[in-house]
Chains A and B, each alone.
Chain A
Amino acid sequence: DIVMTQSPSSLAVSAGETVTINCKSSQSLLSSGNQKNYLAWYQQKPGQSPKLLIYLASTRESGVPDRFIGSGSGTDFTLTISSVQAEDLADYYCQQHYSYWTFGGGTKLELK
C-alpha cells in the first residue's frame, strides 16, 4: 500500500499569511502514461464532510478560490494557501489516487 505522510500535523497562522502544507508518498504518483500526478487535496471544516479542493496534483475543483495552489510531482507535493482567511481554518488532507486510495494524516490549520 502507498503510505502518505503529511507535515506539519498542525499549523498556527495569522490572517493574511501564506502557508504551505507538505505531503510525501512512499512511491511515485506520476503516471507514465499521461504524465499526471494522481494526488488530491481535501479541506474539512469542523463538523463538516471533506471537500475536494485539488485533484491531479494541481487542478483546482470548480469554485475553489485561486489562493489554493497545488504543486509537486513524483513523491513530493505541496498545498499552498496564499493570504489565509478565517474561513480557511480547517483540517487538510492529501490523498493518493494512483493505486486505490490512501489519505495523509492531516494538517490542522489554526489561528495564531
Chain B
Amino acid sequence: QVQLKESGPVLVQASETLSLTCTVSGFSLTNYGVIWVRQPPGKGLEWMGIIWRNGNTDYNSALKSRLSINRDTSKSQVFLKMNSLQTDDTAIYYCTRVYWELFFDYWGQGVMVTVSS
C-alpha cells in the first residue's frame, strides 16, 4: 500500500539548515510528484515545494530563496533542505503524494520540527 514517512531532526537552531527525508513506498517517484506541506502549531497548511514525477521542481514563492527539494529514485526518497531557519519555521512538516498533479491523496504522518533561538 501507499505510504510516506518523514524523518529528520526535531530540533534545529535558528539560522541553521533543516534537512528532512521523505521515504515512500507503494508507488514510484517517476510516476507521481511529491509535495512538502507544513503546518505551524495551531495554524493552517502551507505548500512549500514540489518535485514532479519528471524530477523538475517548483517552490512556493514565499520560500523559494531558502528551499531546495531533490530525490533519489533508487531509494524512493525525497529530500527537503531549507536554510536560514527562524523560529516561525517551527511546524509539522508533511510530505504528500500528488495525484493527477492536482491534489494530495496520501500524506505522511508528519514530523514536528522546532526551531530554537
Mark A residues whose CB is within 8 Å of B. Answer: 1, 38, 40, 42, 49-52, 55-56, 61, 93, 95, 97, 100-106
Contact = CB atoms under 8 A, between A and B. Distances in A.
Task: Classify chain B: how many residues form its interface, as a range.
Answer: 10 to 19
Given A49-B110, A52-B105, A93 B94 contact: no
A95 B108 contact: no
Interface string B32-72: 00010000000011110000000000101100000000000
Given A49-B107, A95-B103, A102 B44 contact: no
Contacts of A50: 45, 94, 104, 107
A52 B103 contact: yes
Interface in B3-47: 35, 44-47
Given A38-B102, A55-B103, A101 B110 contact: no
A108 B61 CA distance: 28
Given A52-B104, A52-B105, A101 B47 contact: yes
A45 B104 CA distance: 16
B109 interface: yes
What is the interface of chain B mostly: helix, strand, loop, or mixed? Answer: strand
A103 B45 contact: yes
Interface of A (DSSP majority class): loop
A49 B109 contact: yes
